[in-house]
Amino acid sequence: MKRVSCAFVSLIIFLTSALCVPSGTVFASSSDREEQQDAQTVRLYVSCDNIQDYLLTSIADSNQYTRYYASEDTHLKFTAYAPVKSLYVMIDKPFIWTLTLPGGDIVKGGENEYLHEYIALDKETTSFEIDIPAGGSISNVYAFTDGRIPDWVQIWQPPCRRADLMVMPTHADDEYLWFGGAIPYYAGELGYNVQVVYLTYHSKQKYRCHELLNGLWKVGVRNYPIITERFIDTLATKWSMESAEKYFGRDNVTEFQVEMLRRFAPRVIIAHDINGEYGHGAHILNASTLLDALQIYEDASVYPESAQKYGIHKVQKCYLHLWNENQITVQWSEKKLGNFGGRSALDMAREGYYCHRSQQKWENHMFQYGAYDCRKFGLAYTTVGYDSPGLNDMFENVDWYDKTKAEIQDEAEANAAQNADSQENTPETLSASDKKSGSRLKARNITLSLFGRKIMIQDIVVAATAMVISLVSIIIVICLKKRE
């Protein structure tokens, strides 16, 4: 009788264990574990039918300061020294390029105008071809084996639909020198939607764009920045605001500022000192036209093209560096960032700045004192009231429930997609009995949120049933023992 009882209990335990496995559980296979291994960089050999090989070595030399410029349409052939599963392509300015894989599969690159673009391949290959048009300039192509790609490989998201914070540096590296730890703190630590908008383009120093992208990625930005070619950086814009106006055109810059306000509808803006920090004319023009733009961006008759394209939504706050009214002092060195191993926001700003290797010769610093103090800002514009003295919080009084038309549209599309997914397995016509079973299926597919995790109702029912069966089996065993 004991043997029967033990066998019965063992059977119950087995069935209970099977029932307790959640319906969505998928067990990891050996291939899943292999995919978690670090991907390795694969050496590439580059050739072209009508170009000597030594002229192409810069494409695969892992050096962002070298490049190949195509004077005519160029068909590049790549041979990998090991099977590759992904590519990382760096170009110097936006253009459409074409990747051709064995078997004829074609991938278009550059369509998002990203200078750094990651391409995951469907299957491994040891050869591929890239076509670049005349005038295209390619800095580097990296190839990786299957596995977890290095952290420095950038997989950019599109620019923000709605920016929590819009940072408006004039040149690449200004975002750290004058604004301190703002970007690593708000983007890298708090996960806010941070949109960086550069005013000038370094056309004669194309590596500056690679440096700025590397820096932003390092400090946690994931939305691709605005790098406009409308305003080419030149020494002539440095000496005064008048010289910058003469070169860029004040109305052109104001129109650009209005467009950015309408496009990103930022809750908070950080921008330059109205005196240009050390008197840089382009810095002054950037801040001055921004203040002008904040007075006119809500008037749809002013620069109507951007109003029609993006709509108009209220900006809540704008801080200028060193603005002498409504001042706050943000202690970047005291803000410890868990996402960066406990390092401070100022430490990570320095890491971002160090990515601008070409600028280290100037020995610029993020000062926490004196005339250029990167901690000091003033509230130059607000529609949500003034800051509390001593709080030093740029997002104080911000209305997080305020939504743009684009955000409302995104939410509606997401809800529609979710509803479509839940109904995709439901037949268009059902019999009465099918409808009943269908309603039961829907009931089982309801989810609950418990401790931050979504749990399917059917899993709860199964677990409860298993517990009941276990209790009944225990009671039966006890009764059998008593009879013995």
pLDDT tens for 232-260 read: 999 989 999 999 999 999 999 999 999 99
Q: Which of 401, 432, 458 is the last residue of a domain?
A: 401
State the pLDDT at residue 455. 47
Q: What is the dihedral of CA 123, 125, 129, 132, to 10 degrees?
A: 50
Q: On the CB side of 472, how many CA atoms lie within 13 Å of its CA?
A: 8
Confidence check: pLDDT of 130 > 90: yes
* In-domain check, residue 421: no
CATH number at residue 112: 2.60.120.260
Which whole number is the average pLDDT over 132-136? 97
Same-domain check for residues 237 and 376: yes
Which whole number is the average pLDDT over 314-340? 98
Torsion sign (Cα): 140, 81, 109, 411 = negative
Confidence check: pLDDT of 431 > 70: no
Which whole number is the average pLDDT over 132-157? 97
Which domain range does residue 71 map to?
41-144
State the pLDDT at residue 408. 84
Q: Which of 386, 401, 416 is the last residue of a domain?
A: 401
Angle, in degrees to the nearest 10, between helices 250-264 and 281-296: 60
Eight-class DSSP state of 312: -
Q: What is the dihedral of CA 414, 417, 422, 427, to 10 degrees?
A: 160
pLDDT per residue as tens digits for the range 391-405: 999 999 999 998 887
Same-domain check for residues 89 and 194: no
Q: Report yes or no: 199 and 227 within 8 Å, Cβ to Cβ.
A: no
Same-domain check for residues 236 and 94: no
Same-domain check for residues 138 and 169: no
Q: Which of 375, 401, 427 is the last residue of a domain?
A: 401
Tokens 């932003």 map to which residue? 216
* In-domain check, residue 469: yes
Same-domain check for residues 372 and 455: no
Q: Phi first, then psi: give them for residue 463, nearest 5 degrees.
A: -65, -40
What's the total number of domains in the chain? 3
* In-domain check, residue 457: yes
Same-domain check for residues 115 and 176: no
Same-domain check for residues 362 and 254: yes
* In-domain check, residue 155: no
pLDDT band at 482 (very low <50, low <70, confident <90, very high): low
Same-domain check for residues 140 and 169: no
Same-domain check for residues 250 and 127: no
